[in-house]
Chains A and B, each alone.
Chain A
Amino acid sequence: MSQRMKPPMGEDNAWWWDMAAAGELGIQRCKSCQTLRHPPTPMCGQCRSIEWDSIASSGKGVICSYTILTHPQFPGYEYPLIVILVDLEEGTRFTSQLVGCAPEDVDFGLPVEMIIQEDPDGFKLPVFKLQEKH
């Protein structure tokens, strides 16, 4: 069975995937100046501290930009594949996938929320769905 490409795990990113496996969308936070940052880096670009911890995002945000991929198609992914940039409530931006949405229904500015997707091989990753209308 074909699987999506997995991230190689190193000191700078494995912790983030551990959070994802535990059902959370992590955001790195500088322990010194509290600045949130993503993608993770070993040093804070604001204050140069190497001390950091992380918070779990609320998982809520809006679509900043998106693309719909149809070709070429790679094993392990379903097409058409909607890839989105999400402006998270916390202020950082995250690249992810929009699921459960027809390509014609995606648009700039739509509110989305994170869900954890588990692939058939057990790999867990944060993806997004459109927020339910109230």
Chain B
Amino acid sequence: MPISLHNEAAIVGVGTTPFSKKSGVSELSLAAQSVRAACEDAGIDPGEIDGLVSFTLDSSDEIEVARAVGAADLTFFSKVNYGGGAAVGTIAQAAMAVATGQATTVVCYRALNGRSGQRMGQGVSGNLLTSDIIHWSWYMVYGMLIPGSWVAMIAHKYMHEYGVTREDLGRVALAQRAFAQTNPRAFAYGKPLTMQQYLDSALLAHPLCLYDFCQETDGGCAIVVTSAERARALSRPSAVIRGVAQASTRGQEQMTSFYRDDLKSLPEMELAAQRVYAMSGLGPDDIDAACLYDAFTCEVIMQLESFQFCGRGEARDMVRDGVLEADGRLPNNTHGGLLSEGYIHGMNNIAEGVRLIRGESTGQPKKSVEHVLVSSGVGVPTGALILGAQ
């Protein structure tokens, strides 16, 4: 009898470091600080940690973090590949470990000096000969070296086919910027944005301008996962994992899946949606708020279709109707997201999902929030997570 991860595990704590453009400390320090903060939030001693999960891109290995925070003996450690696509994957790994008894207290973390250290916007380069670097080389040669260039190619096609305008992308940027105005952790706190400012901004990778790109951030974020049963015994409210799924589909490349017949959709996100809805027994109508991965504005619009909040080509109209805003059908990235809070590779979006379930978001919608959908990286092997109240 296969084990389903439905309601088996819960997130009981989230922790972040301050987000900045120059942390002045090592990435390992950020990782350890975020893990300590997450344990403190959960009311769990770091000495109880027996599992650690991170991203392959993370420079702080599990055992380094374990020594730094004084963790217990580790019986589960794992890293998930594919950049921001790994965020939900870490939760899937932790939930599997907890559900199968491999570990009891697993912390997922991601910490980076994303602005003062290695920047995503500085581009890829190749030294080692791996299948991955040969993949990137097809694009390096022609000057496609940064995420914005890869994303623009798909976004432009999607916008052209469905009549999505720069104003529509701007609506996503503005909605999340508005949420950041109540979130003191956010980079964009105190920096509101108008549509005119958005439209006046120069295109960096046509049709994308500066405000369509997420931040580059120094910071860390950690998430504590334990069994749903144990979560009920802790003093703080937890967010139960109703469903969690990883997904990669045919023709999958990292960021450059340009050779599929249809370039106007996100097949890996559609698979993640199908799997996470099936596991949770929920559908789009049950989702009250979301943290849809937002390294770029256009990705949020396309995901409204992937997760069946509307049909193909209809997301534009939903966004024009204010779906993503505080009083909209699907308040999205109520902390400001990767666009306006900071880019902790999607882990901060999972943390916000937990805050929404606990009713503790600085952008908490007025309506009751029973289920929150969180997705990870767009255009890469990815994942989706549905959190529910206890």
- State in angstroms the CA–CA spacing of A49 and B125 once bound together: 31
Q: Which residues of chain B are within 8 angstroms of A92 by Cβ–Cβ distance? A: 259
Q: Which of B127, B143, B202 touches A83 (beta carbons < 8 Å)?
A: B143
- State in angstroms the CA–CA spacing of A71 and B137 once bound together: 20
Q: Tell me if A7 and B134 are in contact (CB < 8 A).
A: yes
Q: Which of B125, B128, B258, B263 touches A5 (beta carbons < 8 Å)?
A: B125
- State in angstroms the CA–CA spacing of A83 and B135 once bound together: 17
Q: Tell me if B203 and A65 are in contact (CB < 8 A).
A: no
Q: Tell me if B138 and A95 are in contact (CB < 8 A).
A: yes
Listed from nearest, the 6 A-B pairs whose CB atoms lie closest are A7-B137, A67-B152, A68-B206, A65-B157, A77-B143, A5-B140
- State in angstroms the CA–CA spacing of A38 and B123 once bound together: 23
Given contacts A5-B125, A10-B129, A38-B259, contact A65 B143 (CB under 8 A): no
The minimal Cβ–Cβ distance linking B171 to chain A, given in whole angstroms, is: 21
Q: Tell me if B126 and A85 are in contact (CB < 8 A).
A: no
The minimal Cβ–Cβ distance linking A109 to chain B, given in whole angstroms, is: 10
Q: Tell me if A85 and B203 are in contact (CB < 8 A).
A: no
For window 240-285 of B, CB contacts with A under 8 Å fall at 250, 256, 258-259, 263
B193 CB–A CB distance under 8 Å: no
Q: Which of B125, B149, B263 touches A67 (beta carbons < 8 Å)?
A: B149
Q: Which residues of chain B are within 8 angstroms of A112 by Cβ–Cβ distance? A: none
User: Which bucket holds chain B's interface residue count?
Assistant: 35 or more
- State in angstroms the CA–CA spacing of A85 and B258 once bound together: 8
Which of A's residues lie within 8 Å of B, judged by CB?
A: 4-8, 10, 12-13, 38-39, 45, 64-72, 74, 77, 81, 83, 85, 92-93, 95-97, 103, 108, 125, 127
- State in angstroms the CA–CA spacing of A7 and B129 once bound together: 10
- State in angstroms the CA–CA spacing of A111 and B250 once bound together: 28
Q: Which residues of chain B are within 8 angstroms of A10 by Cβ–Cβ distance? A: 129, 134
Q: Which residues of chain A are within 8 angstroms of B256 by Cβ–Cβ distance? A: 95
Q: Which residues of chain A are within 8 angstroms of B160 by Cβ–Cβ distance? A: 65, 108
Q: Tell me if A13 and B137 are in contact (CB < 8 A).
A: yes
Known contacts A7-B140, A65-B157; can you find 4 more A-B pairs with CB under 8 A? A5-B140, A39-B138, A71-B202, A95-B142
The minimal Cβ–Cβ distance linking B46 to chain A, given in whole angstroms, is: 40
Closest chain B residue to A77, Cβ basis:
B143
- A sample of 14 inter-chain contacts (CB < 8 A) reads A4-B143, A7-B134, A8-B129, A12-B131, A65-B160, A66-B153, A68-B205, A68-B206, A70-B204, A70-B205, A81-B143, A83-B142, A85-B258, A95-B153
- State in angstroms the CA–CA spacing of A125 and B137 once bound together: 13
For window 142-160 of B, CB contacts with A under 8 Å fall at 142-146, 149, 152-154, 156-157, 160
Q: Tell me if A39 and B135 are in contact (CB < 8 A).
A: yes
Q: Which residues of chain A are within 8 angstroms of B152 by Cβ–Cβ distance? A: 67, 69
Given contacts A13-B134, A67-B156, A95-B258, contact A5 B145 (CB under 8 A): yes
